[in-house]
C-alpha cells in the first residue's frame, strides 16, 4: 500500500455503530444532557439549562461527523467560526462559545485521537508543523503557570486559551487540501464566511457609524466587524480577478473585491484599509505584469460600487462617513496628535515597563488583567486585551514564546524562497501572491490591533498556512522530509465512509 493510499483509505464500515450502537449513543447523549443540566448551575453560563442541553447534542454530532465523514466536519467547522465572529459573549459563556467549543475544539480533539491513536498517521510532516505544535504546547504550559502565579481569571483564561487552540485547525485543513478543487472549495467557503460576516456588519452599519462619530468611539464601532477577514476577502478576490480566464469568474471576483472593500471601509479602521490596499499592490508585484494590470480595473470598480451603495442605502450618513473616513486616514500622517494612537502608545509603554520587564520569560498568562491610564477617557482602564499584537504575545507568555510565534507566522513565507512555485504555474503563483500579501498586510495591522484577539484572524492564518503548504507540495520541489501532494489518480470518497 502506498503512503498516499494509506493516508486516505476509507474507514471500515464494520467499525461504525449499527442500530443497537446508535441507540446506545442516543441514550448516553440523553444521560449526558441530564448531567450537564445539573452541572450547569455551578458553571458561569449565560443560559445554563439551554446550553447544557445543546452541548451534548452538538458533541454527539461532531463525534459522528469526524469519525464518519470528516470532510463535511471540516467545512462545517470552518463556517461555525461565524458564530464567534458575530455574536461572541462579552462576559461569561454563551451559545457561540458552547457551539464553537463543541463543534470545532471538541472536533479537533476527536480528529487528533482518530489520526494519531486509531489510524497512526503522521501529523508532523514539515518543519512548520513541528514549530506550530511546539508553540501550542509551550505557550499553553507557560501561560498556565504564569496565570496561576498572577491570579488570572479562569473564564477569561479559558476564552483566550481556547481561541489559540483554534490554530490546530490547520492540520485537518492541510490534510483536506489534496487537490486543486479542494483548495478552491476551502477558499469558496472562506468567501461565503467573509460575505456573511460583512453582511452582518453592513446591516448593523447605521448603529455602529452613529457610535463612531467621535474618534474615541472607533474601538467600539469595530466590534463584530472583523476587518481583517474583509481585508482577506478583498485581497483574495483581487487575486482571483487577476488570474481568472472566464467572464463568469471575473465578474464574481470583481463583485467580491467591491464587497470586501465596502466592508473594510465602513469599519472606519485605518489599519485594515491602508494595509488592505498595500496588500493588493504587493500581490500585484508577485504576479506577472499582464495579470496585475487587471487589478486596477477591479479597484476602480470597487470604489464606484462603494460610492453607489453608500448613496443608495445611507444617503443621510454619507457626508459624515466621508468626513470621518478622511479624518481617520489623514490622521495616519499626524500620529503624534491622534488620541487613539496616544492611547495605544501609553498602553504599550505600561506593559513593557511594568509587566513584561517584571516577567520577561513567562509573561503573565491568559486571563490576567492589567491597568493603565487611558488619555482618551482620562480614566484608569483595566482589561485583558492588548492592542499591539507583538507586545500582547510577550505579555501573555513571555519573550521566548513570542519569538517562536513570530517564527511560526513567517516560516511558510520564508519557505517559499526555497521551494516556491515556478513562474509558469499560473494557479499556484496566484495562490502564493494572494496569501503572502494577506499575511504581510496582517502583520502590519498586528501592530495596532492584536490579530490573535479575534477568532476570525486565527482562522485566516490557518487557511493561509494550509494554502501555502499546498503550494509547496504541489510545486514538485518539496523540502527534505515533506510529504508531496497525492497523485491525481488516487481515488477519493466524498460520501459516507470517507475518512
**How would you write 250-305 as a 3-class SS string?**
HHHHHHHHHHHHHHHHCCCCHHHHHHHHHHHHHHHHHCCHHHHHHHHHHHHHHHHH
Do 66 and 195 reside in the same domain of the chain?
Answer: no
* Final residue belonging to a domain, choices 121, 152, 187: 121
Do 412 and 315 reside in the same domain of the chain?
Answer: yes
Residue-level pLDDT at 85? 82
* Final residue belonging to a domain, choices 101, 121, 141: 121
Check if the beta carbon of residue 374 is closer than 8 Å to that of residue 346.
yes
Do 157 and 198 reside in the same domain of the chain?
Answer: yes
Residue 212 is given by DSSP the state: T
Do 313 and 274 reside in the same domain of the chain?
Answer: yes
Mean pLDDT in residue range 205-233 = 62
pLDDT at 192 over 50: yes
Do 48 and 161 reside in the same domain of the chain?
Answer: no
The domain containing residue 419 runs over which residues?
A: 125-499
Mean pLDDT in residue range 361-373 = 88
How high is the mean pLDDT of the chain? 78
Check if the beta carbon of residue 191 is closer than 8 Å to that of residue 463.
no
Mean pLDDT is highest, among 31-40, 339-348, 421-430, for: 421-430
Check if the beta carbon of residue 280 is closer than 8 Å to that of residue 230.
no
Task: Determine the Cα–Cα distance for residues 192 and 198; give it in Å rounded to an integer.
Answer: 10
pLDDT at 113 over 60: yes
pLDDT at 395 over 70: yes
Residue-level pLDDT at 18? 56
Residue-level pLDDT at 460? 93
Task: Determine the Cα–Cα distance for residues 312 and 248; give it in Å rounded to an integer.
Answer: 26
Q: What pTM was estimated for this model as a whole?
A: 0.81
Buried b (16+ CB within 10 A) or exposed e, 433-449: bbbbbbbbbbbebbbbb
Percent of the chain at pLDDT > 90 equals 28
Do 32 and 174 reside in the same domain of the chain?
Answer: no
Residue-level pLDDT at 11? 44
Do 366 and 446 reside in the same domain of the chain?
Answer: yes
392: pLDDT confidence band, cut at 50, 70 and 90?
very high
* Final residue belonging to a domain, choices 121, 155, 173: 121
Lowest mean pLDDT among 437-441, 475-479, 484-488: 484-488
Do 282 and 189 reside in the same domain of the chain?
Answer: yes
Closest by CA to 412, choosing from 243, 188, 170, is: 170
Which has more confidence, 276 or 35? 276
Which pLDDT tens digit goes with each residue over 71-81? 899 999 999 88
Residue 430 is given by DSSP the state: H
Structurally, the chain folds into a number of domains equal to 2
Task: Determine the Cα–Cα distance for residues 199 and 263; give it in Å rounded to an integer.
Answer: 8
Element at 353 (helix H, strand E): none
Residue-level pLDDT at 95? 73
Residue-level pLDDT at 488? 42
Mean pLDDT in residue range 176-181 = 90
Do 384 and 474 reside in the same domain of the chain?
Answer: yes
Q: How far is CA 482 from CA 405, 415, 473, 475, in A?
A: 21, 12, 8, 12
pLDDT at 470 over 90: yes
Residue-level pLDDT at 425? 80
Residue-level pLDDT at 97? 78
Residue-level pLDDT at 207? 65
Residue-level pLDDT at 9? 42
Which has more confidence, 338 or 157? 157
Which has more confidence, 404 or 53? 404
Residue-level pLDDT at 338? 59
Residue-level pLDDT at 223? 46
Residue-level pLDDT at 443? 93
Tallying the residues shown for the chain, one arrives at 499
Residue-level pLDDT at 215? 46
Do 216 and 334 reside in the same domain of the chain?
Answer: yes
Task: Determine the Cα–Cα distance for residues 492 and 50; give it in Å rounded to an integer.
Answer: 39
Mean pLDDT in residue range 203-208 = 67
479: pLDDT confidence band, cut at 50, 70 and 90?
low
Do 99 and 233 reside in the same domain of the chain?
Answer: no
Do 161 and 295 reside in the same domain of the chain?
Answer: yes
Task: Determine the Cα–Cα distance for residues 453 and 37; give it in Å rounded to an integer.
Answer: 31
Following DSSP, what letter does each residue of 407-425 receive, concatenated? HHHHHHHHHHHHHPPPTT-
3-state secondary structure of 104: helix
Which has more confidence, 69 or 364? 364
Which pLDDT tens digit goes with each residue over 114-132? 999 888 889 999 999 999 9
Check if the beta carbon of residue 79 is closer than 8 Å to that of residue 99.
no
Amino acid at each position: 500500500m502506498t503512503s498516499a493510499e494509506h493516508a486516505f483509505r476509507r474507514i471500515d464500515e464494520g467499525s461504525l455503530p449499527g442500530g443497537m450502537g446508535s441507540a446506545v449513543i442516543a441514550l448516553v447523549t440523553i444521560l449526558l444532557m441530564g448531567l450537564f443540566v445539573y452541572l450547569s448551575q455551578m458553571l458561569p453560563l449565560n443560559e445554563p439549562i439551554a446550553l447544557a442541553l445543546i452541548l451534548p447534542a452538538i458533541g454527539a454530532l461532531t463525534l459522528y461527523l469526524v469519525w464518519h465523514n470528516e470532510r463535511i466536519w471540516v467545512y462545517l467547522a470552518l463556517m461555525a467560526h461565524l458564530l464567534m465572529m458575530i455574536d461572541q459573549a462579552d462576559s461569561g459563556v454563551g451559545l457561540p462559545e458552547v457551539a464553537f467549543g463543541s463543534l470545532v475544539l471538541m472536533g479537533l480533539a476527536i480528529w487528533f485521537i482518530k489520526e494519531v491513536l486509531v489510524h497512526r498517521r503522521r501529523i508532523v510532516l514539515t518543519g512548520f508543523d513541528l514549530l506550530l505544535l511546539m508553540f501550542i504546547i509551550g505557550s499553553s504550559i507557560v501561560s498556565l503557570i504564569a496565570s496561576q502565579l498572577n491570579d488570572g481569571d479562569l473564564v477569561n483564561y479559558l476564552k483566550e486559551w481556547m481561541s489559540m487552540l483554534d490554530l490546530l485547525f490547520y492540520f485537518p485543513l492541510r490534510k483536506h487540501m489534496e487537490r486543486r478543487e479542494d483548495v478552491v472549495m476551502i477558499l469558496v467557503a472562506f468567501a461565503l464566511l467573509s460575505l456573511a460576516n460583512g453582511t452582518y456588519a453592513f446591516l448593523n452599519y447605521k448603529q455602529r457609524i452613529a457610535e463612531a462619530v467621535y474618534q474615541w468611539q472607533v474601538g467600539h464601532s469595530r466590534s463584530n466587524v472583523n476587518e481583517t477577514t474583509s481585508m482577506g476577502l478583498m485581497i483574495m478576490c483581487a487575486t482571483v480577478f487577476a488570474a481568472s480566464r472566464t467572464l463568469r469568474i471575473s465578474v464574481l471576483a470583481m463583485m467580491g473585491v467591491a464587497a470586501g472593500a465596502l466592508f473594510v471601509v465602513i469599519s472606519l479602521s485605518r489599519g485594515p484599509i491602508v494595509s488592505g490596499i498595500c496588500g493588493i499592490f504587493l500581490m500585484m508585484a508577485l504576479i506577472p505584469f499582464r495579470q496585475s494590470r487587471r487589478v486596477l480595473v477591479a479597484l476602480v470598480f470597487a470604489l464606484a460600487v462603494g460610492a453607489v451603495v453608500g448613496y443608495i442605502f445611507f444617503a443621510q450618513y454619507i457626508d459624515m462617513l466621508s468626513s470621518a473616513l478622511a479624518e481617520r486616514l489623514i490622521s495616519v500622517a499626524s500620529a503624534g496628535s491622534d488620541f487613539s494612537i496616544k492611547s495605544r502608545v501609553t498602553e504599550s509603554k505600561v506593559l513593557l515597563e511594568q509587566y513584561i520587564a517584571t516577567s520577561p520569560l513567562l509573561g503573565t498568562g491568559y486571563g490576567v488583567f492589567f491597568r493603565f491610564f487611558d488619555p482618551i477617557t482620562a480614566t484608569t482602564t483595566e482589561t485583558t486585551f492588548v492592542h499591539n499584537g507583538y507586545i500582547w504575545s510577550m505579555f501573555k507568555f513571555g519573550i521566548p514564546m513570542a519569538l517562536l510565534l513570530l517564527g511560526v507566522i513567517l516560516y511558510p513565507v520564508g519557505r517559499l524562497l526555497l521551494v516556491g512555485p515556478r513562474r509558469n504555474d499560473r494557479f499556484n503563483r496566484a495562490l502564493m501572491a494572494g496569501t503572502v500579501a494577506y499575511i504581510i498586510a496582517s502583520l502590519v495591522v498586528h501592530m495596532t490591533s492584536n490579530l490573535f484577539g479575534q477568532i476570525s484572524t486565527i482562522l485566516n492564518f490557518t487557511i493561509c498556512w494550509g494554502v501555502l503548504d499546498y503550494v509547496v507540495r504541489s510545486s514538485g520541489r518539496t523540502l527534505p522530509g515533506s510529504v508531496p501532494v497525492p497523485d491525481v489518480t488516487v481515488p477519493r470518497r466524498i460520501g459516507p465512509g470517507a475518512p
